[in-house]
Structure 1
């Protein structure tokens, strides 16, 4: 029991303690739900390790917008990632937006489906992935479209199939947009 300095039970102090404990219990019970709404960083980033040591990559070419107000919206999947269907070089593929990836990254199998010639792949660029360090080939994709957003001449890296299982839509695509933002559990892409 809560007692004041005279030893008597203090009802106001007891009420404040109960109120504080109740608020604390409600807040702490909601934390897991709030955390599930936050995006989870994907450790499958296709980041170039040292372009200066391997020969620099050319900078991105300007994007081509279908209209100045083009927009698309992607929602979270069950794991907190933004995923969607993208048209790449005219073929539909599933992809996951990864702001931690410097480039769009796809594996050899997806690259072949897009009509890219495996014989032209020069795996000389070192990258870090969830599976460790590997080498990638640099390519330029003619076009990536999602919703009404269309971007041309997007730099990408092709990795071996065992190094990458998911197509990552990285910053080489996102940097060509006028803006992108996250609100209400969705990623908005704007041209």
Structure 2
């Protein structure tokens, strides 16, 4: 029994000293860990790459969940077909819009029932200050990306001709990135 306690004490003392050794000489610990790792055959070895010398070229997206790529139109806007609450509609992805913004016609089509009293919020748009209603979209889909419970703002048809997919949707994604005339959305 005493022998087991002695071995346990030595083991605990060794473990407790690792952080102290690492703080005093981190390179020694890193070299020790590298030497303990299995070595790959020389055939698979790749030369070190100096990232500063790599030519500037597009970075391929990392493999991750669901992705959608939207090409810019001739005006540079990212327009696409969406499903709002399961109903097909068109819209424009707008990183300058705080919320998803839809017009009253779209709201009716996707099942949002709003009264005149719901239009109690004043919002500033490119066309001035107007009244709007705040609502929730149960499900917003673009391609194979789906986001549930997305806050939206509903504007009069005359104030908003094109539905805008804003940051209340984009912020719920893992990534959105503009590159070479395309917009990558990833979830």
TM-score range (shorter-chain normalised) is 0.5 to 0.7
Q: How does 1:1-191 map to 2 (within 5 A)?
A: 69-119=65-115, 122-191=118-187
Which structure has the larger Rg?
2
- Find the aligned partners of 1:102 and 1:156 in 2 and give their Cα distance: 9
TM-score, L = length of structure 2: 0.64
- Give the Å deviation of 1:121: 6.1
Once the two structures are superposed, what CA deviation does each residue of 1:24-56 show, in whole Å capped at 9, x if it has no partner?
Answer: xxxxxxxxxxxxxxxxxxxxxxxxxxxxxxxxx
Unaligned runs of 5+ in 1: 1-67
- Give the Å deviation of 1:126: 1.2
Asked if the contact 1:89–1:142 (Cα under 8 Å) also holds between the matched residues in 2, the reply is yes
Are residues 148 and 134 of structure 1, via their aligned partners in 2, closer, same or farther at CA, if it must alter by over 3 Å?
A: same
List structure 1 runs of 4+ shifted beyond 6 angstroms. Answer: none
Unaligned runs of 5+ in 2: 1-63
Normalized per residue, the structure richer in helix is: 2
Higher relative contact order (CA 8 A, sep 6+): 1
- Give the Å deviation of 1:143: 0.6
- Find the aligned partners of 1:73 and 1:121 in 2 and give their Cα distance: 39
Are residues 121 and 177 of structure 1, via their aligned partners in 2, closer, same or farther at CA, if it must alter by over 3 Å?
A: farther
- Find the aligned partners of 2:83 and 2:103 in 1 and give their Cα distance: 16
